[in-house]
Amino acid sequence: MTSDFPPSAASSSAASPPASPAVSGPSSDVAACTERALASLRGLSVGDALGSQFFVPVNRPFLERREPPPGDWQWTDDTEMACSVLAVLTEHQRIDQDVLAASFAHHHDFDRGYGPAVNRLLRLVREGGDWRRLAAELFNGQGSWGNGAAMRIAPLGAWYAYDPEQATHQAEISAYVTHQHQEAVVGAMAVAAAAALAADPAGPPAPAALLRDVLALIPRSAVAAGLHRASEMLDYEDAATVAAVLGCGRRTSAPDTVPFALWSAARGLRDYAQAFWATAQVGGDVDTTCAIVGGIVASGAPGAPPAPWLARTETLPDWLPTSR
């Protein structure tokens, strides 16, 4: 669920960084990049779609029993925007901001749960507005510090396995299209770095190593401070206690969402179901936290979602080139 959370006055939006060439090296094989990113996207869509079921009060008993509710599960704006990210990567092998903005606007489905500010921004882009000006003007010129840039970015991280630094750079570029506040940008960078590290073909890292390496790739920020706290709580078994300290997206801001999501992902890199239930049980912005966790965990082969869950999740859209 895209947030429209207004930023604090302490930080401000920043200008878009320059685009960079496609990544080179072992991960630059487009077919391999696409396969990893699509695996992450599937994990993201399952987390998003299943997580969103628990906003429905009648499904709460299933969550308490850690059982998937009956029926088919429809994904939200989290997955729709992530599909645009992957579509742009497939076409350009890097993030092109103008193409990404156009894809967001063209495929924008009002009924997928977008926040009011993003709904308006994408409508105006579709009508010919300049995304740079529109995103920069949000919240009195401070930009949005919501979790929307982070929720959609895990497939990009999986694409850039072998090069987490490039993953953070491309995530930064992608964030500015809708979220220009520093905290929202850093939140996207952190999720992309985590997904890139989780996608290492040698196997996902240990929980402490994952958070340590993510912290080494992001700037000083409230998100980074939250990740420091998360790294000190990896031995906590009670997710609710951790969420009480770190937040779980109830404020729909990046600092309130990303640290807990990475804590949960780090502890469940080899077990999608375990990671999902630990994330969902604390509530909050549950479709988004579960989308972030699902996208990170599924970036690595050991973290694929259960096949029955994937089968009940809405299929990815036909316009996504890799879905054909």
pLDDT at 2: 54
Per-residue pLDDT band at 105 (split at 50, 70, 90): very high
Contact between residue 64 and residue 106 where contact means Cβ atoms under 8 Å apart: no
pLDDT digits over 268-311, tens only? 999 999 999 999 999 999 999 999 999 999 999 999 999 999 99
* Residue tagged 């969420």 (tokens): 243
Span of 55-59, 97-101, 196-200, 318-322 with lowest mean pLDDT? 318-322
Report pLDDT digits (tens) over 144-189.
889 999 999 999 999 999 899 999 999 999 999 999 999 999 999 9
pLDDT band at 323 (very low <50, low <70, confident <90, very high): low
How is 152-171 classified by DSSP, letter by letter?
T-HHHHHHTTT-HHHHHHHH
What's CA 159's distance to the chain center, in Å? Answer: 14
pLDDT mean over 91-119: 94
Strands (E), 60-208: none
Check residue 260 and give its pLDDT: 98
- The answer, yes or no, to whether residue 230 has pLDDT greater than 60, is yes
Q: What is the pLDDT of residue 278?
A: 97
User: Confidence band (pLDDT; 50, 70, 90) for 1?
Assistant: low
Residue 4 pLDDT more than 70? no
Which SS3 state, helix, strand or coil, does residue 222 take?
helix
Superfamily of domain 28-323: ADP-ribosylation/Crystallin J1 (1.10.4080.10)
Mean pLDDT of 247-266: 96
When the pLDDT of each residue in the chain is averaged and rounded to a whole number, the result is: 91
The length of the chain, given as a count of residues: 324
Query: What pLDDT is attached to residue 303?
Result: 96
CA dihedral 146, 42, 17, 247 (to 10 degrees): 30
- 8 Å CB contact between 283 and 249: no
What are the structural domain ranges in the chain? 28-323
Distance CA 194, CA 216 (A): 11
